[in-house]
Amino acid sequence: MPFQWVLDNHISGLVLEDAVRDLEEGKTVDPRTAQLAPIRAKMQRPFQKVDFERRSIGGESVPVQRLNPTPKMKNTMGDLRDYLLKQFAVSPEEAFGVLPGFVAVWPETMTESENPVTVSGIQSPWTTYDYSELGRGALADGECRHLAGVDINADPSVSPALKDKLLNQLVTVEIFHGISTENAAKMFVDLNFEGTPVDNITKANIDPRNKWISATKEIFSTLQIGVATTGRQLTSSHQRQGQWILLTHAEQMVKAIVLGPNNALNKSKKTDSWDGVDFEKLNKAAIQWFGEIFDHFGGPEVLGDKSRVIRTIAVRVALASLGAAFYREDSKGIAEARATLKDVDWIVSETWNGIGGKVVVNDEGVATMSAGSGKESITKAVQAVTKPTTKAGEAVRGGHDKVGASK
């Protein structure tokens, strides 16, 4: 098909990306765009990332949201755009250029009719598919090429003759129709995330095959706790958006209920397996226990509070693992979990040094604890949180603030 056909029959990935944000904010979106946006969000990396910058408004410094281009956008509007104009548009007569095929998705099933065409050497029958009543589709592969083409077509500085060459070049388009959002994700998550390396959190967020991640997102959504689904570290930008924990760290808390704290922190085929897990019971147990944890501390903001040890991964996972009693419906264990929440002194102090992580006290007497991966301190953290009669368990109980909530 001509490149022009691709531009005419698909909504730009950037438009769909903006539509996802508009839908989340309750804004009105074109019905067709609203239908395609969830499919696109399941398949593609973003063109833009949300960030904040401080600006003076009315004499007051306030954080203002802005959208910054990702490497994907920079490549699309840079090298890829140049390639389309300098190589692909003029090939094959003047230069050599090829364009990989596009993969297009329509959620509806197209109307098909038998086409009485015979082509020597090619298997029959042929079928004609009518999509004229469906509206535009989404691109599972090729949306960067599509966006670059849209940008070129709208650029008055590009000569009409060169635009015609580009838009009349034939391209391959592979079409899938009658495909749900989840099935689209399963088919194309590897296509779009294996070719160019991305962080595990971003990939895990859109892969519906991971039942741990799906359960985690549902649990934290029910608790109305924002989860960061991009990046390798929790940033102040995440927190300004109400995101208090990285998705994979939230997953570790959920895993700890079923697998125990040590296994929750160690990636392996065994710990990635969900065989035998009752996710309905897990969902109920996690919502109950995590809800009690965050109510105790005054909200999820405690996960960003440097004065509280629960900010560190090892302590957080150890505390989450007490939810196993809720999963087993063990009344004695549930009572012990609740007692632990009240009895432990959750404020960062030298008492926790070597238990939850390395504690440093500055000249003003303010103690801070490193928030590392947790693997190096998980054993002591588990002893302290789950075993009151151990040396570590006794050390962190009976301190100066048993409530642990922000003052």
Q: What are the tokens at 47? A: 């063109």
Residues 129, 111 contacting (CB under 8 angstroms): yes
In terms of Cα–Cα distance, which of 150, 134, 139, 129 is closest to 103? 139
How high is the pLDDT of residue 195?
52
Least confident of 66-75, 79-88, 125-134, 296-305: 125-134
How high is the pLDDT of residue 350?
87
In single-letter form, the type of residue at position 233 comes to Q
Return d(Cα 271, Cα 251) in angstroms, integer. 12
How high is the pLDDT of residue 212?
92
The 3-state secondary structure of the chain, one letter per residue:
CEHHHHHHHECCHHHHHHHHHHHHCCCCCCHHHHHHHHHHHHHCCCCEEEEEEEEEECCEEEEEEEEEECHHHHHHHHHHHHHHHHHHCCCCCCCCCCCCCEEEEECCCCEEEEECCCCCCCCCCEEEEECCCCCCEEEEECHHHHHHHHHHHCCCCCCHHHHHHHHHCECCEEEEECCCHHHHHHHHHHHHHCCCCCCHHHHHHHCCCCHHHHHHHHHHHHCCCEEECCCCCCCHHHHHCCEEEEHHHHHHHHHHHHHCHHHHHCCCHHHHCCCCCCHHHHHHHHHHHHHHHHHHHCCHHHHHCCCEHHHCHHHHHHHHHCCHHHHHCCHHHHHHHHHHHHHECCECCHHHECCCECEEECCCCCEEECCCCCCCCHHHHHHHHHCCCCHHHHHCECCCCCCCCCC
Residue 332 has phi, psi (to 5 degrees) of: -65, -45
How high is the pLDDT of residue 402?
42
Percent of the chain with pLDDT over 70: 89
How high is the pLDDT of residue 404?
40
Residues 243, 300 contacting (CB under 8 angstroms): no
More confident residue, 121 or 167: 167
Q: What is the pLDDT of residues 179-227, one digit of tens each?
A: 887 787 777 766 655 555 556 666 676 677 789 999 999 999 999 999 9
pTM over 0.75, yes/no: no
Per-residue pLDDT for 91 more than 80?
no
How high is the pLDDT of residue 201?
66
